[in-house]
A = this chain, B = another copy of it.
Amino acid sequence: MNLQEYLDARSILVDRALDKLLPAGKAVPRTLDKSMRYSLFSGGKRVRPILALASGEAVGAPPSRVLPFACALEMIHSYSLVHDDLPAMDDDDLRRGKPTNHVVFGEGIAVLAGDGLLTEAFRVMAEAALRPGQDRTAALRAVQEVALGAGAGGMVGGQVADIEAENKKPTKALVEYIHSRKTAALLRASVRAGALVGGATARQFAQLDRYGTAIGLAFQVADDILDIEGGTAKTGKREGRDAELHKVTYPAAVGMAKAKARARELMTEALAAVQPLGERAEPLRQIVKFVVERAVQP
């Protein structure tokens, strides 16, 4: 299996579906439509939707079954970036080399575009859950997982903790509190939602959940490492941006060597978790290797 081909093929699926799933027409003011699409189609790597699809595939579900939930996860990720970039938060002018949403559309519209993406994500999931043949209970459990991962005890809570932690001493406990919420919770929810909608058994769900927990944490540790060592080419953002914002990071808390060891340990944990799922979990394996190895290798 070629990872890049897999990622490209899944990205195309997600992008096409997103275009169709967004509301359109006269009902939506043109500015709002443009603003939501501007951020949603700005070159994201579609990590969360691809994890959801790969998780469903690991238990034998075709991508089409999980696709609307995968798209909803990307809409939620996209909203979170629009709001994080606001002047009242991280105050970023550039994302992936393009002006951020509020720079182009103004702060008011950016707040509302984020609100729109978040709300529409739940509409998309509810409508997918209502499709004929869809197991409603499994779909509702997926909606619940996504809301938990994105909500006050998940991503939103992590973002609040992150803001409050600026200029605080970066202890390991504080960094882990933030990481487990700000980034890991939605990544983990992506894997869990894919497993549920994909029809995982209780045992398979537990295996995938262990994978999701590990990759969720690995992702943020790797991101922290790359922010210091990666350079703009690898990360698409300015090197040292976290330090500039006085963000608490894993390397700052435990040192670079221990941070890299932790990333490797989480990769091993993720690989072990999906070992029983066999060949169908190969995309999940390659994804976690890619995430960690690009950060820890010289």
Contact = CB atoms under 8 A, between A and B. Distances in A.
Interface of A: 22-23, 27-29, 31-33, 36, 79-80, 83, 86, 88-89, 106-112, 114-116, 118-120, 122-123, 126-127, 129-130, 136-137, 139-141, 143-144, 147-148, 150-153, 156-157, 159-161, 163-164
A84 to B, nearest CB: 9
B31 A164 contact: yes
Contact of A109 (B29, B130, B163): B163
Nearest to A159: B112
Given A31-B164, A89-B111, A130-B141, A118 B118 contact: yes
A2 B201 CA distance: 53
A218 B147 CA distance: 33
B137 A111 contact: no
Q: Label chain A's interface by main secondary structure.
A: helix
Contact of A147 (B28, B106, B126, B147): B126
Given A32-B152, A111-B111, A116-B152, A130 B123 contact: no
Most buried by B among A108, A147, A150: A108
Contacts of A28: 152-153, 157
A243 to B, nearest CB: 19
A108 B89 contact: yes
A124 B79 CA distance: 20
A130 B119 contact: no
Contacts of A83: 111-112, 115
B27 A153 contact: yes
A132 to B, nearest CB: 11
Nearest to A28: B152
Contact of A144 (B31, B32, B118, B123): B123
Contacts of A23: 151-153
B126 A143 contact: yes
A127 B114 CA distance: 24
Contacts of A88: 106-108, 110-111
Contact of A163 (B108, B140, B163): B108
